[in-house]
Structure 1
């Protein structure tokens, strides 16, 4: 179809597509897979197509609407149209080399810009003091407050706190229980009251830990690893007395214990002594 574009996309197209996801004036593209903890997961554009940000999700999409790479053709949200009609629009204000968007009518005075700059600096200093530097390649579990749409609007839940490259900001997702959450984490240490979130906590802590591999939770991979370990244990030296008790425990745990390993220490000692006497007799 002529109104569709397919990957691969240029860097300019990727940038426009990701801008559309947050500024396009209509519902963004979301993942086609089900994510109970991340419903409506917003897709991220890459040169090879759309990708889902949810951990271990392999969803891919190689097409987009042609108008999505042309900001001039994006639908205008009704709120923007109302603001434009009333003169209440967003304006860009430079604060220490960073562009801050401020909404309001009329021109922004020099005094207002200076006051805004002071406020932004104080807020950044407080945030830096209260928030340690986080690894942007990882996700973190954080307590969050539910929205009024939740079945538990007064409860405290758990959500994944992660860096969203397309927004250039840290953000919290839905609760681990699948409920809708307010954006932004609560202070560390806030007690979690949602039992379903707590039930999911161990799984997410394991999946979000550094060094986690998808194979660690793959039953087929784990069975193959166990079979390989069993084979290696069978080949271990059985003649060393120092290893015998350990080998008995390992073999029993792996389900490969043999009758000769079930002998008592006295029986093994007697056989060793008999072997020594036989050897001395041959000498």
Structure 2
């Protein structure tokens, strides 16, 4: 999804699956001259700079936003190095399970005269296709301009929502961050059920995937409540009603979905420390 707002220049630290997906979206939307630190990516189009380490950056380079897309367990070493180079910075973290308090503590201990602003983002893997969903939370000292910079970056790869408390980022993780896996599981199970009912696997896969795609398009395009869309498909006494009678039993989807999301939210909180 493109954005009409000018993107900020960035320093992207880490260019794995999520970092790479976001970078591709940003490049397509006219990213200003920026830099990427990554030891595994081979090329980056001019005028952008690809370097293997922070020490290889041009001395004059000063990004609008530093995007942290490294593994959480590597974050401390990265932050300590960044703090010595960028005293006053806007840092956008897309790492799960690292609170702003923990990130700020590492940054400040490395250079006591720093004044960084941290913003957390929880994107999801459809960002690869420009169809991502990202929840964002900003520390109280973030300026409107800093928030706009980060919002513009994440809207370049999908949609954004802002939450009022950092704890709510854990809920975002449980719904949209982990959510694609729930949908993929449903596709997997529908395909398996189709084979069990005598369909060739290729046919069952096409039916499952196309059905999820079409239903998703309706949810995305229509203002109608999801419950109403479900009722519109369900004729009394028909085949859909028979299937939903199983899926909507008290010990089936209503309970297991809430339990699954709660488990993801709980784990996100544990990882944040």
Structure holding more strand per residue = 1
Structure holding more helix per residue = 2
What's the TM-score once normalised by structure 1's chain length? Answer: 0.23
What's the TM-score once normalised by structure 2's chain length? Answer: 0.23
Higher relative contact order (CA 8 A, sep 6+): 2
